[in-house]
């Protein structure tokens, strides 16, 4: 009986320890950029740093790099970040720089690169 109780106590202790270390892990995950992501991982074009740091406050840059759009669509994306996701509007000068980078590095993808459904009978 008492060994059962002791075992329950041990398990409780382990659970407390586990949740404490989970909480610690969460506070340590605070820096905005996942540690493994750096501007150098993305295509080398003017204003890479500006674009990178403008976006990673909220999400990783991979999410951005996964897209391919015209300058106009990138502009709409920025406006959408501001209106829907509480992004601080960029100063006009910075907005231009960020758009320069996005346009140069992540242009619209050719339809064949877009993945999506392919008709198996056409290949
Ligand atoms: C203030 C926060 C914030 C900032 C700064 C921000 N975004 Fe976002 N963004 C979001 C949120 C929230 C989402 C939607 C949730 C998610 O997918 O993580 C999102 C999603 C996206 C998506 C994905 C859309 C999709 O179809 O999945 C793109 C592209 C994007 N953001 C581009 C940018 C670019 C480019 C920048 C920098 C110039 C930027 N964001 C900066 C908050 C932000």
pTM: 0.72
Cα–Cα distance for residue pair 81/95, rounded to 1 Å: 12
Q: Whose CA is nearest to atom 12 of ligand 1?
A: 85
Q: Given pLDDT bands bounded at 50, 70 and 90, which one contains residue 121?
A: confident
**Comparing 15 with 38, which gets the higher pLDDT?**
38
Cβ contacts of 60 within 8 Å, gap of 6 or more? 33, 34, 37
The whole-number average pLDDT for the span 15-27 is 56
pLDDT at 112 exceeding the cut of 70: no
Q: Is residue 121 part of a domain?
A: no
Residue 9 structural domain: 1-30
Q: Given pLDDT bands bounded at 50, 70 and 90, which one contains residue 9?
A: low
Q: Both 46 and 104 in a single domain?
A: yes
Instruction: Give the position, in ligand 1's atom list, of the atom nearest the Cα of 102.
Output: 35
List the structure tokens of 98. Answer: 């960020």
Q: Both 89 and 106 in a single domain?
A: yes
List the structure tokens of 28. Answer: 């340590």
Q: Whose CA is nearest to atom 18 of ligand 1?
A: 59
Cα–Cα distance for residue pair 77/40, rounded to 1 Å: 23
Q: Both 50 and 104 in a single domain?
A: yes
Ligand 1: residues whose CB is within 6 Å?
51, 54-55, 57-59, 63-64, 67, 77-78, 81, 85-87, 98, 102
DSSP assignment letter at 91 = P
Rounded to the nearest angstrom, the gap between the alpha carbon of residue 57 and the centroid of all alpha carbons in its chain is: 9
Q: Percent of the chain, pLDDT > 70?
A: 67
Cα–Cα distance for residue pair 99/82, rounded to 1 Å: 15
Instruction: Give the position, in ligand 1's atom list, of the atom nearest the Cα of 86.
Output: 1
Residue-level pLDDT at 122: 72
Q: Whose CA is nearest to atom 16 of ligand 1?
A: 59
């Amino acid at each position: 009986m008492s060994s059962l109780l002791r075992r329950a106590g041990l398990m409780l202790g382990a659970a407390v320890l586990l949740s404490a270390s989970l909480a610690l892990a969460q506070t340590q995950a605070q820096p905005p950029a996942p540690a493994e992501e750096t501007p150098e991982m993305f295509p080398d074009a003017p204003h890479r740093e500006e674009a990178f740091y403008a976006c990673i406050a909220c999400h990783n840059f991979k999410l951005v790099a996964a897209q391919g759009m015209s300058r106009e669509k990138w502009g709409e994306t920025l406006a959408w970040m501001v209106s829907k996701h509480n992004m601080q509007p960029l100063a006009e000068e910075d907005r231009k720089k960020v758009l320069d980078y996005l346009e140069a590095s992540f242009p619209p993808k050719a339809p064949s690169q877009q993945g999506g459904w392919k008709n198996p009978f056409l290949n």
